[in-house]
Amino acid sequence: MPDTSPLLTDLYELNMVQAYLDKAEDGEAVFEFFVRRLPARRGFLLAAGLEDALQFLETMRYSAADIDWLKSTGRFRDNLLDYLRDFRFTGDVHAIPEGSVCFPNEPLLRITAPLPQAQLVESRLINILHFQTLIASKAARMVLAAPNKILSDFGLRTAHGAEAGNFSARASYIAGFNSVANVLAGQRYGIPIVGTMAHSFVQVHGDEMTAFETFARARPEGVILLIDTYDTEAGARKVVELAPRLKKDGIAIRGVRIDSGDLIAMSKKVRAILDAGGMKDTVILVSGGINEDVLQGMKKDRAPIDGFGIGVNLAASIDAPSLDCAYKLQEYRGVPKRKLSEGKQTWPGRKQVNRAYGSDGRMSGDILSLEGDKQNGEPLIVEVMRGGKRLGAVPTLAHIRERAARDLARLPEPLRQLQQGIEYPVAVSVALKDLAVEADRLTKK
């Protein structure tokens, strides 16, 4: 059975659509997806997942087997089953492009569609956009903490399932990671794949020198040797001893990897051993417990490390494994809507975000306004799908990654430094505040 299908949704979507169809309640609905607030210690978001979301909308079809199964549950009537059989998403989508820096309450995506359609796509849209934005935002912190270092996603094994492993690779590459260990992600997304060896490889060969030489001869391009299975410094000395023997056969040792112990102290010792052995060009890669705090610490301590393999801290965003997000009805049949539940009020209407920049080219503030409400600054939200059809060419991942690099460079310096307690200014326009009052007035409780 496939991992995804249109049945990858919450039952309440189908319940509601059954009720809507019974009453022919299919007016134009506007929903927006946004993050309510940032996790502790975070200062910004990096939007990701839009391409997968649009692909989902374009290709969402209920198979005959899906319909048969829904029917077999006895929960749904023929009007719903017939509707699903012919389902096509025919709505419009506006969004902040992937790779853009954004902030709480700014809609990453807006769906404008007949009500049943807009409701049926909710669960999976959130499932895609939440996770990729979560990971891109986490990865961006690591990219900022380790300028000019090689960062690789090693997170597949403890990512939350298969899709998380693939999406993590995509989102972190957008944020500026250089490569990924997950081969399928390399195939799917064209991300450079990287890999060294496991400790088991050394253990199988019993002695480390044999393991190193066997590996280097089997994988002569870009040899990276894992040197911490027994004693890291001894491992580094073996690398120095082995290098001339390999060189005779035209094989260079490109780097070593350390996966345990005090990585800062050990990297300095290993660098000294390699340098003394004439291996100044051999890079040091490390893995194990790397996050943005560790990266900042290593930068401060000038650890001679060239690259980092980052696992679960990236792929499960350990310090903040979720974002407080919502997909909310903002307008129905032309009437503005907002949720009034205690502590969960939202801004109604079809929104736009305009961003101002200072004379230094850095972002200086956003204004959350309504579509058509003229504001200064660069508008962030653009139309990406009309009548169920994509507008324009699918942006390449390289293009999205460039946008992220440009936006991260334009962050205010305290946010680039990952300083805590810095809140980027997002103002709310007068027109939007007025609309909220109007929405409340129109609400018949």
Find the helix or strand (DSSP H, E) in which 436 lies. Answer: helix 430-442
Instruction: Give the separation between CA 417 and CA 436, rounded to whole angstroms.
Output: 36
Question: How many angstroms from the chain centroid is the CA of residue 336?
Answer: 31
Encoded amino acid at 252, one letter:
A
Measure the CA angle with vertex 95, ends 398 and 184; round to 5°.
Answer: 40
Instruction: Give the separation between CA 359 and CA 357, rounded to whole angstroms.
Output: 7
Instruction: Give the separation between CA 247 and CA 278, rounded to whole angstroms.
Output: 12
Min CB(217)–a copy of itself separation in Å = 7
Distances (CA, A) of 243 to 101, 209, 216, 250, 252: 45, 11, 10, 10, 7
**In the numeric block, which tokens belong to residue 236?**
């580094």
Identify which of 119, 6, 120 has the alpha carbon closest to the alpha carbon of residue 63: 6
Identify which of 311, 355, 350 has the alpha carbon closest to the alpha carbon of residue 44: 355
| Strand extents, DSSP E, 206-317 | 223-226, 253-258, 283-287, 307-310
Instruction: Give the separation between CA 8 and CA 127, rounded to whole angstroms.
Output: 10
Query: In the chain, what's the furthest Cα-to-Cα distance?
Result: 84
Measure the CA angle with vertex 249, ends 248 and 251; round to 5°.
Answer: 100
Phi, psi of 76 (to 5 degrees): -125, 145
Please identify, using beta-carbon distances, which residue of 15 and 90 lies nearer to a copy of itself: 15
Look-up of token digits 């649009």: 54
Find the helix or strand (DSSP H, E) in which 66 lies. Answer: helix 64-72
Min CB(138)–a copy of itself separation in Å = 12
Min CB(24)–a copy of itself separation in Å = 12
CB-based contact 160:310 (threshold 8 Å): no
Look-up of token digits 């829904």: 70
**In the numeric block, which tokens belong to residue 295?**
């990266």
**In the numeric block, which tokens belong to residue 118?**
């807009």
